[in-house]
């Protein structure tokens, strides 16, 4: 368990899967994910078996409330490259259909993941690909010190239009400096 003030990160359990599937299947969430199709329980279970339980390049967590243990969302580090020491950040808050909340669950979850990734796993870089219309997550990640590394033009087709995606990242040294300064 990785504990913060409002949330803690812990292993995803099989009983969490129906909640995750419901949240990810909502159009307002799904448009932000690489998986464009509606998920069924077989697909969700297959992801859990192959990625969460069977892939050493994926570390996923349930985000739970410190107050009552309620499932709030899901986060993790994916596509971990153990040679080049980098990983893709994955995050969403499903509770109350927040996606990225104003309360601070998402921000604290990211901070906990950064600490875990840089201190425990020894990563050099944590990165993410976000579609340009995902302003909430882009703003959050930039507030946390991630910088835009580049733009992939016309990377994603959604709602009858092509969208760019942004690649953002934070390096271990940048995270350490921010941590030492209390952020």
CATH of the domain at 97: 3.40.630.30
Range with the largest mean pLDDT of 44-53, 78-87, 173-182: 78-87
Supply the pTM of this predicted model. Answer: 0.92
Q: Which helix (H) or strand (E) holds 28?
A: helix 27-30
Average pLDDT, rounded, for the chain: 93
Write down the pLDDT at residue 31: 72
Q: In terms of residue numbers, what domain contains 105?
A: 2-180
DSSP symbol at 38:
P
> Domain tally for the chain?
1
Residue 174 in tokens: 């940048």
Which segments of 99-148 does DSSP mark as H helices, in order?
105-115, 135-143
pLDDT confidence tier of residue 39, bands split at 50, 70 and 90: confident
- What are the backbone dihedrals phi and psi of residue 68, each rounded to the nearest 5 degrees, phi first? -140, 5
Do the Cβ atoms of 16 and 71 come closer than 8 Å?
A: yes
Note the maximum CA span of the chain. 46
pLDDT of residue 166 exceeding 90: yes
């Amino acid at each position: 368990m990785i504990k913060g003030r409002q949330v803690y990160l812990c292993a995803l359990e099989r009983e969490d899967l129906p909640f995750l599937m419901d949240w990810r299947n909502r159009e307002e969430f799904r448009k932000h994910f690489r998986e464009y199709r509606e998920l069924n329980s077989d697909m969700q279970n297959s992801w859990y078996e192959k990625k969460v339980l069977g892939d050493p390049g994926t570390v996923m967590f349930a985000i739970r409330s410190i107050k009552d243990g309620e499932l709030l969302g899901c986060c993790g580090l994916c596509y971990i490259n153990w040679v080049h020491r980098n990983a893709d950040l994955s995050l969403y808050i499903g509770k109350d259909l927040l996606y990225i909340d104003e309360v601070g669950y998402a921000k604290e979850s990211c901070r906990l993941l950064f600490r875990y990734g840089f201190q425990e796993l020894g990563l050099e870089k944590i990165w993410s690909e976000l579609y340009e219309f995902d302003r909430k997550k882009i703003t959050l990640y930039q507030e946390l010190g991630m910088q835009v590394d580049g733009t992939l033009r016309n990377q994603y087709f959604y709602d009858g239009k092509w969208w760019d995606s942004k690649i953002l990242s934070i390096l271990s040294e940048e995270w350490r400096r921010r941590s030492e300064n209390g952020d």
